[in-house]
Amino acid sequence: MANIILIETSSKACSVALSQDFDIVFKKETLEGPNHAAVLGQFVEETMQFARERGIAPQAVAVSAGPGSYTGLRIGVSEAKGLAFGLNIPLIGISTLQAMCCHVMFCPILEEGMPEGGLYCPMMDARRMEVYTALYDAALNEVKPVSAEVVDENFLADMLDQHPIYFFGDGADKCQEVIKHPNAHFIPNIRVMAKDLMALAVKAFNAGKFDDTAYFVPFYLKEFVASKPKNLLENL
């Protein structure tokens, strides 16, 4: 049985959970952020107290690895590293965007499964019309790598001509009025939380795929410098 502490701090939300195999047995969450520095330590302590009282020995700590908020990711990874070193357990970094896909897999709109050829497009809000995004197939294989993009009416037009694409996340919420292709489907109110890391963390744990605790860093996408959308340039 895999007992894993899960930490998610990539957005304004902050959450910690404890999983046993594929069950969440404890969680602490807040949407009133960003206040990760103020609440994360307390959430972890309450999670550890729950585990101690029930004789649950954590075997790994999984943390959202980005992309996302620079400060949030830094705080979450620092906490995860401290736990991994202190408890002498391995560290597992989880793609934030893939974790968002795991959340959506169980949404009512996809309860019968992804349509043939359908793709997931998680989007995290960056600024203005910028998002952190990627494309994944139904098995979470990467179809388009993680990148920072400026969204306009032609965003993913070639892919949308060939596939139904499901957009979700706080980045998608602001793009719904821009992307009008008939193959574009929007799933509202999707926010990644610690519990969404569970399936990917268990899979990595069972496969023995761990990260180097000392050298692990989040995926910030810091090198991205956005250009202005075409329609804004035309109006200058």
Q: What is the mean pLDDT of each run of 10 residues along the chain (236 residues)?
A: 95 95 95 86 98 97 95 96 98 97 88 89 91 96 95 95 96 91 94 96 97 94 50 47
Q: Output the pLDDT for position 35.
A: 85
CA max distance for the chain: 64
Name every residue whose Cβ is closer than 8 Å to that of residue 55 and which is 6 or more positions away in sequence: none
User: d(Cα 142, Cα 139) in Å, to the nearest integer?
Assistant: 9
d(CA 16, CA 29): 7
Q: Check residue 110 and give its pLDDT.
A: 83
pLDDT digits (tens, 9 = 90+) for 139-158: 999 999 999 999 999 999 99
- pLDDT at position 108, please? 81
The backbone region for 73, taken as left when phi is positive above 0, alpha when psi lies in -120 to 50, beta otherwise, is alpha
pLDDT value, residue 222: 52
Statement: the pTM of the whole predicted model exceeds 0.85: yes
94-126 residue pLDDT tens:
999 999 999 999 888 887 888 999 999 999 998
